[in-house]
Amino acid sequence: MAYVALSDRGQVISHPHSWITKYVWSQDHKVIAIQYGITAIAVGVLALVLSAMMRLQLGFPDTLSIISPSEYYQYVTMHGMIMVIYLLTALFLGGFGNYLIPLMVGARDMVFPYMNMLSYWVYLVSVIILVASFFVPGGPTGAGWTLYPPQAIMHGTPGADWGIILMLVSLAVFIVAFTMGGLNYVTTVLQARTRGMTMIRLPLSVWGIFTATILGLLAFPALLVSAIMMTLDRLLGTSFFMPAIVSMGEQTSYDGGSPILFQHLFWFFGHPEVYIVALPAFGLVSDLLSTHARKNIFGYRMMVWAIVIIGALSFVVWAHHMYVSGMNPYFGFFFATTTLIIAVPTAIKVYNWVLTLWHGNIHLTVPMLFAIGFIFTFVHGGLTGIFLGNVVVDLPLSDTYFVVGHFHMVMGVSPILVVFGAIYHWYPKMTGRMFNSAMGKWHFWLTFLGTYAIYLPMHYLGFLGVPRRYFAYEGIDFIPESAMALNTQITVAALFVAVVQILFFVNIIWSMFKGPKADPNPWGATTLEWQTAETPPIHGNWGPELPGVYRWAYDYSVPGAEKDFIPQNQPPAPGEKVVI
C-alpha cells in the first residue's frame, strides 16, 4: 500500500510555529492558496481600475480627458493580460487548486510542498515585474494583450523600449511559477488520493482544476517559446517574427520573419487558456449547484467526460482567433468545424446544470445565486461564441464591440461570478466565520444586473460596426449619435459595478473578524473538505488518520437516509442496501 505511506506522512510534517514560517514562508497548501488569492485579487483590482479609466475615456471623450491615446492602449493591454493570466489563471489554479485539491482528495498537503511555496514566490516576482513596467521610461507595453508582432516591438507602439521586455520576462517567470504549481496539482491528484478515492469518485471541482492544469502545462510552453523568440527579436535583432519593415522612414535590420507564426504560437496557447479558466469554473459551479440544490449533479459521468473532451478539443480550435489573418480558407473551414464540435460537450454541461436544478430543493444562498447567475452569463457568452466561430459571421464582426461583449461575457463575467460564488461558498471553511448574507445578496444582484447593463449593449454596438480598440470615435460617419449615448451608459454601468465590488471586500474583511462563528459544514456538503476536525483545517488537514472514502461526492437527498446528505467518508451502515 505504497500510496498510504506517501500520502499519510503525518509524522514527517513538522508544524511550524513562528509567525514567519506559518504565514509567510509557509509550505501549507492552504496558506499558499490564500497568498495566491490575495495577490491575484490585488492585481485584479489594479486591472479593474485600468478598465474604469478606459471607460471614462470612451464614455466622456470630450468632457473628460484624463488619459492620452498611448495610455489608453497601455491600459487595454495591461487590463487584458492581468485579468486573463495574473488574476484568473492564478486564482483558479494557484488559489482554488491549492486550497481544494489536497482537502478534496483527502491528502495532508501537496506532494511537493517546498516547490509549491516556491511557485507562489516566483508568481509574486512575475507580478512585481509586471507592475514595475508602469514605472519604467515609456511605461508598460501598449501592444494589446495578444502582443502581435511586428507592432509590439516597433517604435511608435507605447512601451516599445522597456514595457514589452518586462511584459515578456514577466510572462516567462509566470510560466515557471505555474509549471512548479502545476506539477504539484497534477501529481497530487494522481498520487495522494486517500483510500477509496478513485478518479471517478472525485468531486467535479477537482476534475476541472486537474484537467485545466494539464492544459496549462502543455499550452503555456507555446507562450514561453513565443516570448523567448520575441525577446530575441527585440533585444538581439533576430527575425523569427519580424518581416522586413520600414519604421519611421528607416529600413530596419529585420528581414523575412513571419508575424503569422507568432499568431499560431500565441493562440496555440491562447485558446487552451480560455479553457484553463473555464474548466475550473465549470467544476466549481457544478459542486455549488449540486450542494445548494440538495441534489446529485445530473449526469456526473457525462460531466467528467465533457471536461476531458473539451480539454482535448481545446488544442485544435486555436485558429478561429485568426480568421482575419489571411490564412487558407480551408483552414478556416476546419477550425470552424472543430469550434462547433466543442460546443457539444459544453452544451451537455449546461443542460446538466439546468437539470440538476430541476426538481431540486433549491436554497437561494449567496453562493447559489452566483452559480445560477453563471449559467445565464455563460449561456449568453457561449451562444455569441457560436456566432463568431463561423467564418462568414466572424469576418464582419471581428474587431468590433461584438467580440468585446462576447469574450467578456464568456470568460470575464462568467468565471468571475464563479470566483465570487466559490469564495462565499468556502469562506466559512477558510476563515471559520460566516459572511453577511444580506450584503452578499446585494453584491450579487448589483453585479449580475450591472454586468448585463455593460455587456449587452456592446453586442448592439458591434452590429453597428463600432470598432474596438479605438481611443475616440469623432468624425466617423457610420456611427450614429445614439451609439455614443450608449457608450456613455455603458461607462456609467461599468463604474457602478466597479464601485459595488466594495461590498464584497467590506463583507469578507469585516466578517473575518466580526462574523458569527461558522458551523464546520454550514451547507451540508458531502465532500471531504467539510469533514475536517477543525475549522479552518489545521496544518496537515486531518487528525491522526486520513479519511477513507466510501461513496461518490454527490449523495444528496438519498431516499431513506437520515440527513439530506451523506459525507463521502461515511461508511455504509450495516445492512444498508448497496444499489447496483
Partner 1 sequence: MEAILVFIFIAVGFAGWWLWHEKILDKPWTTEGTETDLRESIGTILPTRRTGLAVFLAVVTSVFALLVSAYFTRMELNDWHPVQEPGLLWFNTVLLILASVSIHWCSRSDKINTVKLMLLATGGFTVFFIIGQFMAWQQLVIEGYYLQSNPANAFFYLFTGLHGIHLLGGLWVWFGAMLRVFTGVEIEQAKISVQLCRTYWHFLLVIWMVIFALLLST
Q: Is residue 579 a contact residue for partner 1 (CB under 8 A)? A: yes
The correct pick among 49, 255, 333, 361 for binding partner 1 (CB under 8 A) is: 255
> Contact between 179 and partner 1 (CB under 8 A)?
yes
**String of DSSP letters for 414-447:** HHHHHHHHHHHHHHHHHHSB---HHHHHHHHHHH
Q: Which residues of 367-402 are buried (b: 16+ CB within 10 A; e: fewer)?
A: bbbbbbbbbebbbbbbebbeebbbbebbeebbbbbb
Stretch of residues binding partner 1 (CB under 8 A), selected from 263-271, 283-291, 343-351, 529-537: 263-271
2 binds partner 1 (CB under 8 A): yes
Can you give the C-alpha Rg of the chain in angstroms? 24
φ, ψ at 158 (rounded to 5°):
-55, 140
Shortest distance, position 412 Cβ to partner 1, whole Å: 27
SS3 254: coil
**C-beta closer to partner 1: residue 225 or 354:** 225
195 is an interface residue for partner 1 by CB under 8 A: yes
Output the smallest distance, CB 578 to partner 1, in A: 5
How many residues interact with partner 1 (rule CB under 8 A)?
67
Single out the residue of 190, 395, 438, 449 in contact with partner 1 (rule: CB under 8 A): 190
Measured torsion, CA atoms of residues 545, 549, 553, 557, in degrees rounded to the nearest 10: -100
User: Which range of residues in 160-168, 192-200, 275-283, 436-444 is near partner 1 by CB under 8 A?
Assistant: 192-200
Nearest to 319 by CA among 273, 277, 266, 274: 266
Cβ neighbours of residue 185 closer than 8 Å, sequence gap 6 or more: 93, 97, 98, 101, 110, 209, 210, 213
If binding is defined by CB under 8 A, does position 10 make contact with partner 1?
A: no
Which residue's CB is nearer to partner 1, number 181 or number 537? 181
Task: From residue 206, give the alpha-carbon distance in Å to each of 6, 74, 186, 360.
Answer: 20, 36, 10, 23
Q: Is 312 in the site for partner 1 (CB under 8 A)?
A: yes
**How far is residue 434 from each of residues 96, 489, 510, 514, measured CA to CA in Å?**
19, 36, 10, 9
Q: Does 387 bind partner 1 (CB under 8 A)?
A: no
User: Rounded to whole angstroms, how far apart are CA atoms 278 and 289?
Assistant: 16
Which of 131, 152, 169, 217 contacts partner 1 by CB under 8 A? 217
Q: Which three cell numbers stand for residue 503?
A: 461590498
Distance of closest approach, residue 441 Cβ to partner 1, in angstroms: 33
Among 16, 61, 144, 196, binds partner 1 (CB under 8 A): 196
- Asked if 304 touches partner 1 (CB under 8 A), the answer is yes
CB 545 to partner 1: min, Å: 14
Asked whether position 131 contacts partner 1 by CB under 8 A, the answer is no
The correct pick among 106, 147, 551, 567 for binding partner 1 (CB under 8 A) is 551
Residues across the chain: 580
Report how far residue 15's alpha carbon sits from residue 35's, in angstroms, rounded to the nearest whole number: 19
What are the DSSP E strand ranges found in 128-275? 246-247, 250-251
Contact flag: residue 392 with partner 1 (CB under 8 A): no
Instruction: Report, in Å, the least distance between residue 44 CB and partner 1.
Output: 26
Residue 250 phi, psi dihedral angles, 5° rounding: -120, 140
In the region spanning residues 494 to 523, those forming contacts with partner 1, defined by CB under 8 A, are: none
Q: How far is the CB of 572 from partner 1 (least distance, A)?
A: 4
Write down the least CB distance from residue 573 to partner 1, Å. Answer: 10
Interface with partner 1, residue 533, by CB under 8 A: no
Residue by residue, DSSP assigns 383-422 as HHHHHHHSHHHHHHHTTBHHHHHHHHIIIIIHHHHHHHHH
As measured in angstroms, the least distance from the Cβ of 22 to partner 1 is 25
Query: Near partner 1 by CB under 8 A, which window of 75-83, 132-140, 283-291, 548-556?
Result: 548-556
Q: CB neighbours (10 Å) of residue 436?
A: 19
How far apart are CB 182 and partner 1 at their closest, in Å? Answer: 8
CA atoms of 173 and 86, how far apart (whole Å): 12
- Is 237 a binding residue for partner 1 by CB under 8 A? The answer is yes
225 touching partner 1, by CB under 8 A:
yes
Q: Least CB distance from residue 528 to partner 1, whole Å?
A: 15
Residue with cell 453563471: 374
User: What three-state secondary structure class fits 556?
Assistant: strand
112 binds partner 1 (CB under 8 A): yes
Please tell me whether residue 564 binds partner 1 under the rule CB under 8 A: no
Give min distance, CB of 7 to partner 1, in A: 9
| DSSP letter assigned to residue 370 | H
Among 315, 376, 473, 496, interactor with partner 1 by CB under 8 A: 315
What's the DSSP call for residue 531? Answer: G
Q: With binding defined as CB under 8 A, does residue 192 bind partner 1?
A: yes
**Other CB atoms closer than 10 Å to residue 505's CB: what's the count?**
12
Q: Tell whether residue 286 is a contact of partner 1 (CB under 8 A).
A: no
- Using rule CB under 8 A, residue 12 touches partner 1: no
- How many Cα atoms are found within 13 Å in the side-chain-facing hemisphere of 351? 10
Q: Does 239 bind partner 1 (CB under 8 A)?
A: yes
Nearer to partner 1, 396 or 572 (CB): 572
Residue of the chain from 3, 135, 333, 463 that contacts partner 1 (CB under 8 A): 3
Give 207 or 504: the residue with its C-beta nearer to partner 1. Answer: 207
Nearest to 291 by CA among 209, 353, 200: 353
Considering only residues 258, 488, 489, 557, which one is a binding residue for partner 1 as defined by CB under 8 A? 258
Q: Which of 68, 253, 437, 482 binds partner 1 (CB under 8 A)?
A: 253
Rounded Cα distance, 427 and 372, in Å: 19
How many separate helices (H) and strands (E) can be counted in the chain? 17, 2
**Structure-block grid coordinates of residue 115:** 516547490
Site residues, partner 1 (CB under 8 A): 1-3, 6, 111-112, 179, 182-184, 186-187, 190-192, 195-196, 198-201, 214, 217-219, 221-222, 224-225, 228-229, 232, 236-240, 253, 255-258, 261, 264-265, 268, 296, 300-301, 304-305, 308, 312, 315-316, 548, 550-552, 554-555, 571-572, 576, 578-580
